[in-house]
A and B are shown apart, each in its own frame.
Chain A
Amino acid sequence: MKWTHRIIGLLFAAFVLLLTLVFVILPDKTYSSSEKRNLQTLPELNASTLADGSFMSALEDYTADQFPLRDDWMRVKTAISRALGTRESQGVYIMKDGSLAERFDTPDAANMQETIDAMAAFAERYPNLRMNFLLVPTAIGIYPENLPVGAPTDSEDDYIDTFYGTLSKGMTCIDVRDVFAQKKDALQLYYRTDHHWTTDAAYEAYKIVSKTMQFEHETTFTSGIICNDFRGSLVSESGFSVKLPDAITAYIPNMTDRPDEALYTVTYAEDSRKTASCFETEYLLSDDQYQVFFGSNHPLIQIDTAVATDRKLLVIKDSYANSFVPFLTPEFAKITIVDPRYYYEDIDALVISGGYTDVLFLYNAATLSEDTSLKTVLQNVQ
């Protein structure tokens, strides 16, 4: 065994030293596109970071984050985990059809009640506004049969039932679940690699919303694929690789019958930037192409259209609305989009000065179940 030991010693030393050498030589990266996060860079050494140990833990993160071939090691790891039978990672399941979907965890009941109370109080303050709530199920709620057999998850259906059941009378609940259940085989309602709904699903929801909110026009849309290599957040979250990337579709309203109403401006409040489109196409080259819709989430976006109508809409929403709002531009003179997670202004001042006729709350069940920002914004605690 002596010779074998010597060779093992040699190979062990060579393996360790080689990787250490590559690690030292390779330049540091600041951002990982596959994980969609900033990486730890060389931490600063001083007496206080040394005494409280933060220097040491940062240095350990640094070695792990900057390790050579990080993404390849990740592939090796997930391949082995898959071979051992793993179907879940970081709360993301590999579904029977090979797509990825997030587990649903029943929310804290107290938090849900507080959110509902805040909404009821808000609806009471503005009795003249037509309030609507669209709570969109996620993939796991529509395709529970695709879960690995017996995989633990809570029922999203029950959550939506409870939420709609306790919501106050002044709020119109829009339920897309029946339509989604009918269309779920014919259409791809959710991305295989991302936690968002597809634009096709948003279009199905639009058709229901258009009836419930009594839109004046019957607008038709032209759709087309604008991206076919989308690998969404669930891939980076779980580390599981998906063979087929997703396609992203965009819908454009056909306004040939009223061409003078077709144009609109989009204003992003945080930097007063104006554009003439809901689509920020430069994000098609980024690592999260879903951001093509409004360039992801912003505290407040205002759309001013040329549509001849009195109706003005306030949308209070999460990221599911980003691909949905483009369907609404032919119906309203003004659309204001507020994302409570990033909005710290006075919501009452906004509502009073805005002259709105309609309000649409749009959330997906997973985000809303964990959300604490909606109640904060509606309670208008400054």
Chain B
Amino acid sequence: MIFSSTFFLFLFLPVTLILYYVVPKRAKNLVLLLFSLVFYAWGEPVYVLLMIYSILFNYTMGCLIDSEPAHKKLVLVFSVIMNLLILGFFKYYGFLMENINAVTGLDLPIRKLALPIGISFYTFQALSYVIDLYRGRFKVQKNVIAFAAYITMFPQLIAGPIVRYEDVAAQMEDRKLSPARFGKGALRFIFGLGKKVLLANLIGSLFDTIHASGADVSTVTAWIGALAYTFQIFFDFSGYSDMAIGLGEMLGFTFMENFNYPYCAKNVTDFWRRWHISLSTWFREYVYIPLGGNRVKVGRHILNLMIVWMLTGLWHGASWNFILWGLYYGILLIWEKYVWSKLKVPAAVTRIFTVVLIIIGWVIFSADNVSQIGITLAAMFGHAKLGFIDGTARYYLSTNWKLLLLELIFSMPMVRALYKECTKHAVTRVLILVFALVLLYVCTAYLVTQNYNPFLYFRF
């Protein structure tokens, strides 16, 4: 199930929230768990069993770490390996076999499994629990329902943010609900919905059109396409995070912020402090620092960075373009740390350069295969099949410039500053209220008509 559907907003959410608010405090985790399982089983009826297995496994490992302090390292290693094996099997097995076949020329049978939705997210959450429990950061969770509710929590189940157990340990026991908090969450949810349904989906259809043209583009069209994807992925992902944070708030949780206007980053390092913060935090906490981080010799530091960034790329999907994308950022970060920062380049230049590098990154990320990356980049940098600009590019510009401008405005922190200012005065608060309602109304129009799908000859 996805948040941006009429079914979620007008059936699942009201039923869940009403029950959640009606039941007494001690039953809230159970309600949350049951509805989260329904939410997950909705698209993955079979894989819900895998998830239940993962919950019971990690719960048991947690109890073992707690009760067997002498063997806790062994338990930790075992549970990390098991979690990674499950993730690896369901997510990377087919990809691995394909590449083994390609390299060795063998023809080993491949059974490509459908990817269990959210497995990368909930496996990482489970890992954060066992690892931090081993480190003694919090007390073991003995209540299996509370633990299961943490792993399955539907707001962040399928697209993050990756909530570390440490951050919500107290909230799993006790959460405060209030009308004001509900409204705060609703407001955040509406903003997220608007980002996803309006900004991401509309510019996404422009990207799809250009993407489908393949090499038959001019340089300007190729840039419009890359820019469209740059906006689409940001508003899609951060909109989803906003909805998750808003829903969490409605349920009494406080989740960490996941995005902080990443396209206004000072440099690439800064970009990764602002983009999918919960993921980069996770990798820093559980991979980069355990590897030694930057408190090692230069050679080792470079190796550490490359390992972390290759894994980050791979985490996004079992495909070479994701690995390339990860390595691309690894190289950029090393370059920035050891070369660029010593060149004394004016800040404005670095900023512009950073945006271009980010856009190139998304070209790598969005490609269907490795050869397409080359075609698109060549088109963007002067080797386009249809010249620098053609009629089609002008058409895309003339029919999308308003949308592109809106996307640009909403990617900039001045929107947040304006919002903050508006919260300070009674009159402008009414404006926020009206804006939120209009936004909800418009989003509903887009949700309802999402499957507007006329079929003209069905009766003949």
Q: Which residues of A contact B (CB under 8 A)?
A: 1-13, 15-17, 19-20, 23, 35-38, 50-53, 56, 59-61, 63-65, 67, 70, 73-74, 76-77, 80-81, 83-88, 90, 148-152, 233, 236-237, 239, 296-297, 342
Contacts and interface: CB of A to CB of B under 8 A. Distances in A.
Contact of B429 (A1, A65, A76, A150): A1
Contacts of B46: 51
Nearest to B38: A56
Contact of A16 (B1, B9, B44, B429): B9
A38 B458 contact: yes
A6 B202 contact: no
B442 interface: yes
A76 B442 contact: yes
Given A16-B10, A20-B11, A85 B43 contact: no
Given A6-B180, A8-B187, A37-B458, A85 B11 contact: no
Given A63-B10, A73-B444, A84-B402, A8 B436 contact: yes
Contact of A8 (B6, B393, B395, B433): B433
A367 to B, nearest CB: 11
Contacts of A50: 45
B460 A85 contact: no
27 contacts: A5-B184, A6-B179, A6-B180, A12-B190, A13-B14, A16-B14, A35-B453, A35-B454, A37-B458, A50-B45, A51-B45, A56-B45, A60-B6, A63-B6, A64-B447, A67-B6, A67-B448, A70-B449, A84-B202, A88-B399, A148-B398, A149-B394, A149-B395, A150-B390, A151-B392, A152-B395, A239-B449
Interface string B19-55: 0000000000000000000000011111000000000
B10 A23 contact: yes
Given A38-B458, A86-B399, A233-B456, A5 B183 contact: yes
Contacts of A88: 399
In which size bucket is the chain B interface?
35 or more
A15 B6 contact: no
A236 B11 CA distance: 28
A22 to B, nearest CB: 10
A8 B392 contact: no
Among A12, A81, A83, A236, residue most surrounded by chain B Cβ atoms (within 10 Å): A12
A53 B43 contact: yes
A233 B1 CA distance: 32
Contacts of B458: 36-38
B249 to A, nearest CB: 10
Q: Is chain A's binding surface mostly helix, strand, loop or mixed?
A: helix
Q: Is chain B's binding surface mostly helix, strand, loop or mixed?
A: helix
A74 B451 CA distance: 11
Interface string B157-187: 0000000000000000000000111111111
B219 to A, nearest CB: 15
Contacts of A2: 180
Nearest to A12: B186
Contacts of B186: 8-9, 12-13
Given A64-B7, A84-B403, A85-B398, 4 more contacts: A8-B186, A53-B43, A76-B441, A148-B399
A297 B460 contact: yes
B101 interface: no
B187 A5 contact: yes
Contacts of A36: 454-456, 458
A231 to B, nearest CB: 12
A85 B400 contact: yes
Given A8-B183, A9-B179, A35-B454, A151 B395 contact: yes
B349 to A, nearest CB: 33
Contact of B183 (A12, A63, A74): A12
A70 B180 CA distance: 32
Given A1-B423, A2-B180, A63-B10, A77 B451 contact: no
